[in-house]
Amino acid sequence: MSTLDGRETTLPRRVPEPGADQVTELPPEQAGTTGQPSAPDFPHRPERVPHIAIDAVLSELRLLIPGVLGCVLGGVDGMLITHNLPDDADPWDLAALAATTFGVGRQVGLRLRQGAFRESTVRNQDGYLSVYAAGPSALLGVVGTDAINVARLHLHAPTAAERLAALLASTARQ
């Protein structure tokens, strides 16, 4: 990420990368067996989520739309469900950013009496983050380059979000 004066900066990570010199202790309710935050307390538990079907939907977006760097599927509470982001992106942070974007969009919809949140796109100098509602409790975040065809993204991503919502709902009913 670049600052206004052109210097390169990176966002701090909430959880240190493996092998990092500094280790942060997580609260017991967040600590998993690997030292990473545990799976989100979500109506559809990660071990029951049909990962193959979800991964197929996320991968399809990357294939359909040149410029998509990766996707994150998270809860409206900011907890990560799954992702297909490159290694240099922090999926936990992007899930939290998607939830923050959702929160702002939801408030705009409420204040302007325009209904429920559907999607929001943030354009930066070098790329985009688009967030789509995937049912009542999940969000699809799509990270793209500045060269992405946003119209094509907005054509295909809502359908992908609907498919993800259906997959998550079917898992919750099991």
Q: Who wins on pLDDT, 112 or 32?
A: 112
Question: What is the overall mean pLDDT for the chain?
Answer: 79
CB-CB neighbours of 51 under 10 Å: 13
Please state the pTM of the whole predicted model.
Answer: 0.72
β-partners of residue 68 are 144
Q: What is the pLDDT of residue 54?
A: 92
pLDDT band of residue 110 (cuts 50, 70, 90) is: very high
The average pLDDT across 65-86 equals 94
Q: Which residue has the tokens 């969009």?
A: 105
Q: Pick the closest to residue 139 from 154, 116, 161, 122 (CA basis).
A: 161
Dmax (CA) for the chain in angstroms is 53
Domains of the chain (ranges, CATH numbers): 46-173 (3.30.450.30)
Q: Who wins on pLDDT, 9 or 127?
A: 127
Is residue 71 classed as helix, strand or coil in its secondary structure?
A: strand
Amino acid letter for position 123: R
